Amino acid sequence: MITYVTGSLFESPAQVLVNTVNTVGVMGKGVAYQFKRLFPEMFEQYRALCESGQLRVGKLWLYKTPNKWILNFPTKIHWRNPSRLEYIEAGLRAFVYSYTTMGVHSIAFPPLGCGNGQLDFATQVQPIMEKYLRNLPIEVFIHPDRDDPFEPEHTVPEEMREWLRSEPASLPFAEVWDDLVDVVTRRSEFSTQTGTSTFAVRAVADPPHLLIETAGGNRVTVPYEALQAFWQQIRTHGYTTRKIAPDMTRQLSYLIPVFAELHYVRLVNLSDSYEKLTQNPSIGLQIRPNASSNSESRVQLSLFELV
């Protein structure tokens, strides 16, 4: 049974709330950003699923808390692009197939793919939601009103990129990779932090990796996956050193100067003792503090299920 409701999705009595997401790990605007602020641990798990390539259009991710369950529903692939009606249909088809297995008995939907996605609810989305949801033997609440007054994120890409980078601790690696490509395109030659040698770096697109060539003619390839793991370590620990990234010891001398060119990362001296810090510190990286703070408390022990 479908019931159309005005008012906020977050005030719904439904057991499950639907969060519309992309598949690159960004919850940037609208309803998704509100979910990110309310459920920061859910966002971290969502970002990890995206970075590992597990969350795709037509796949639904159910996140459970003691109060509400959140069904993360991909309505677009990248935040830079609008939604497509076939993405909505793929997700609805997956929901109809799996809602009994997930244990869903009531659910509240926003206008899927509208707002940031730029689909029209009345002429495009509502008919297809009716098609898949009308005859289900559960309570389905649909909130057709948009909660966000913002411009769609893909129509203001530079503004969106800047805003995402104001919270670097939340930044998925896909965004960092784009920035690294910009860095090595603008400046191809770097020096090690000791200043003892120079090296050149270029970004290769297929397969994506950084190619480093030393002054002595040696070549070092750093695959996308290794760079992603390196960024994840910085993001998790706040710092990176050889102790935190032991598998990257050989590449650190090259990666630190390159990553230090990112405006949301800075060089820092570290050591496991005060004497070493004052006499012979290690050089590492630190994520700069967020430009905006999130004061919400972190909540609930989470469970998740990928359908």
Total domains in the chain come to 2
| DSSP-based three-state secondary structure for 19 | strand
Q: How does residue 244 score in pLDDT terms, banded at 50, 70 and 90?
A: low
pLDDT, average across residues 169-193: 91
Dist CA 108 CA 121 (whole Å): 16
Whether the predicted pLDDT of 209 surpasses 70? yes
Percent of the chain at pLDDT above 90?
A: 54
Which residues does 267 contact at the CB level (< 8 Å), separation at least 6?
A: 193, 256, 260, 283, 284, 285, 286
Compute the mean pLDDT over every residue in the chain, rounded to the nearest whole number: 85
Q: How does residue 297 score in pLDDT terms, banded at 50, 70 and 90?
A: very low
**251: Cα within 13 Å, side-chain hemisphere:** 22
Residue span of the structural domain in which 77 resides:
2-156
pTM of the predicted model as reported, rounded to 2 decimal places: 0.76
* 181 and 250 co-located in one domain: yes
Instruction: Give the strand pairing for 198-205 and 189-191.
Output: antiparallel
- pLDDT tens for 52-111 read 999 999 999 999 998 899 999 999 999 888 899 999 999 999 999 999 999 999 999 999
Asked if residue 306 belongs to a domain, the reply is no
Give the phi and the psi of residue 172 in degrees, each rounded to 5.
-70, 155
Q: Give the CATH number, domain containing residue 75.
A: 3.40.220.10
